[in-house]
Amino acid sequence: MRVPLWLAPYRPRLWSWLWILGCWAAAWLECRLMTDLRNYYGPYWSPVAVFAAAVVLCACALGFWLSRPLAEAAPARALNRTPLAGLLLLAGAVRVLYLQAPLIAAHQNTLAFSDVITILQTYVARFRSGEVVYRYLTNLNYPLFPNHLPLQWLPYVPADALGIDYRWWSLGLLLLLGFGAYLLVLVRQPLPWAEFVLKALLPFLVLAQLISYTPDLYTFTCEPTIIAYYCLLAAAVLSRSALLQGVGLVLCLLSRYSVVFWVPFYLWVLWRELGLRHALAVATIVGAGIMGIYVIPFLSHDWTIFTHALAEYKIATLGEWSHGDDSGHPPQLFNGVGAASWFYSYGSGTLVEKIAALQRTHVVACVAVMGLIAWLYYRFRHRLPYQIAALLGLKLYLTVFYTFLQIPYLYLTSLGLFISLFVALTVGFRPREAQLPLPATT
């Protein structure tokens, strides 16, 4: 189809607007599919819809950056909007706390609903008293060998010393550390006032939406701490600070294994774009963090800790797959956010064989998507800022990782929504004044 002559000068801008609208529509749909529309299409096709929305989000963001004019005027200097960002942070935090406070107050006995907080409290109590942390827990309804990495429970040592509820501490870390990092990136961008305010409020709107439609989502867990780590990592990806990048990777690697397949790709990108010295600096920080926080104080005293943790994951997975609700289906597998329902219903063999098939698919899918991400980065390396390539790669990888998770708890998969916010942050309403190059966040 030929473009009319009078429309030809506007064609690049029209394409940019189409990518922008597609990106924001996909982000909006992804949020709704995990809140008011969760499981709307049933336990089999709802996860497909969530996955598709995340992929479309990444594709449209990629299209936006590839369609921008190669030669752009330098953007205007960003105004000092830090005071406004602080006010919006305060207003958003008040709204979120107003929603979450009654839920925490009404459920002080978390062990009746979840064992996570009790387990974290045991870790912290042992650590503060100088006991061995990684040994069997006996204060639950069942024996459990500790399977949580250090940065899942170490942040609560100050909270325990001050007598603060872990859930409040966790939510505070998300609001101050996670959303603070998001706003720090945002205030450095030369955006119109309306766009700035809208993007600044997005994290709080998404968090309030999650709490409103799933009140128990963060009432019995401390997942906001993990989300805060990944928000900090996303902010680090958009910066040029080796220290921030290394710290972000340490926080994520020593809280969950989720990001492990993405890390080699990211170090390779840093090597190509910023040089071997920068990549080695980040790798050194990561190595020192892992050695100093995990290996020397804990793992070196009992090298079976890691294998014990993997065994506990297998036991927990089999337990969740074995217990059905009134419909006969395990509720955590059929909650509309993961592909485990497909393997449970249509996989062949026993439950153990179905779980093994999902685990193999999980690993293959993660490796395959990282190969695709690496190829896309190399293919478009001259037209795509490396920060954007790394961020889109992180979002796409986490989408695949959590889609094929053996137990797709909603509080785990909700992490992807907050990475989507950083993707939306990089897509502006004024394509010709796109924020390039992204300023360094130090």
Per-residue pLDDT tens over the stretch 53-71: 999 999 999 999 998 754 4
| DSSP of 245-263 | HHHHHHHHHTT-STTTTTH
The answer to whether residue 419 scores a pLDDT higher than 60 is yes
Virtual torsion, Cα 402, 407, 409, 412, nearest 10 deg: -40
Find out whether 72 and 435 touch, Cβ atoms under 8 Å: no
Instruction: Show the domain range for 409.
Output: 9-68+78-433
Which whole number is the average pLDDT over 95-121? Answer: 86
Q: Greater confidence, 109 or 250?
A: 250
Within 13 Å and on the Cβ side, how many CA atoms surround 92? 27
The answer to whether residue 2 scores a pLDDT higher than 60 is no
Q: What is the three-class DSSP state of 52?
A: helix
Assess if residue 328 is contained within a domain: yes
Which whole number is the average pLDDT over 425-442? Answer: 52
> How many angstroms separate the Cα of 34 from the Cα of each of 199, 213, 289?
20, 9, 34
CA 173 to CA 162: how far, in whole Å? 15
Which whole number is the average pLDDT over 87-116? Answer: 88
CA 427 to CA 432: how far, in whole Å? 11
pLDDT for 5: 43
pLDDT for 431: 37
Res. 109 pLDDT band, cuts 50 70 90:
confident
pLDDT for 191: 85
% of the chain exceeding 70 in pLDDT: 91
pLDDT for 144: 79
Give the amino acid at 252. Answer: C
Assess if residue 249 is contained within a domain: yes
% of the chain exceeding 90 in pLDDT: 72
Query: For residue 370, what are its two tokens?
Result: 């990282």
Give the amino acid at 275. Answer: G
The answer to whether residue 127 scores a pLDDT higher than 50 is yes
**CA dihedral sign, ordered 203, 208, 214, 217:** positive
Assess if residue 358 is contained within a domain: yes
Res. 247 pLDDT band, cuts 50 70 90:
very high
- Counting every residue, how long is the chain? 442
CA 202 to CA 378: how far, in whole Å? 31
The answer to whether residue 44 scores a pLDDT higher than 70 is yes
Nearest to 395 by CA among 424, 359, 371, 427: 424
Predicted model pTM = 0.92
Find out whether 178 and 232 touch, Cβ atoms under 8 Å: yes
Q: Count of CB atoms within 10 A of residue 337's CB?
A: 29
Per residue in 338-394, pLDDT (tens digit) is 999 999 999 999 999 999 999 999 999 999 999 999 999 999 999 999 999 999 999
Least confident range from 30-44, 69-83, 206-220, 337-351: namely 69-83
CA 399 to CA 366: how far, in whole Å? 10
pLDDT for 79: 64
The answer to whether residue 11 scores a pLDDT higher than 60 is no
Least confident range from 127-131, 235-239, 410-414, 424-428: namely 424-428
| DSSP of 389-407 | HHHHHHHHHHHHHHHT-SS
Q: Report the mean per-residue pLDDT for the chain.
A: 89
Q: Which residues contact 14 (CB under 8 A, 6 or more apart)?
A: 7
CA 268 to CA 151: how far, in whole Å? 25
pLDDT for 429: 59
Give the amino acid at 402. Answer: Y
Find out whether 151 and 141 touch, Cβ atoms under 8 Å: no
The number of domains in the chain is 1
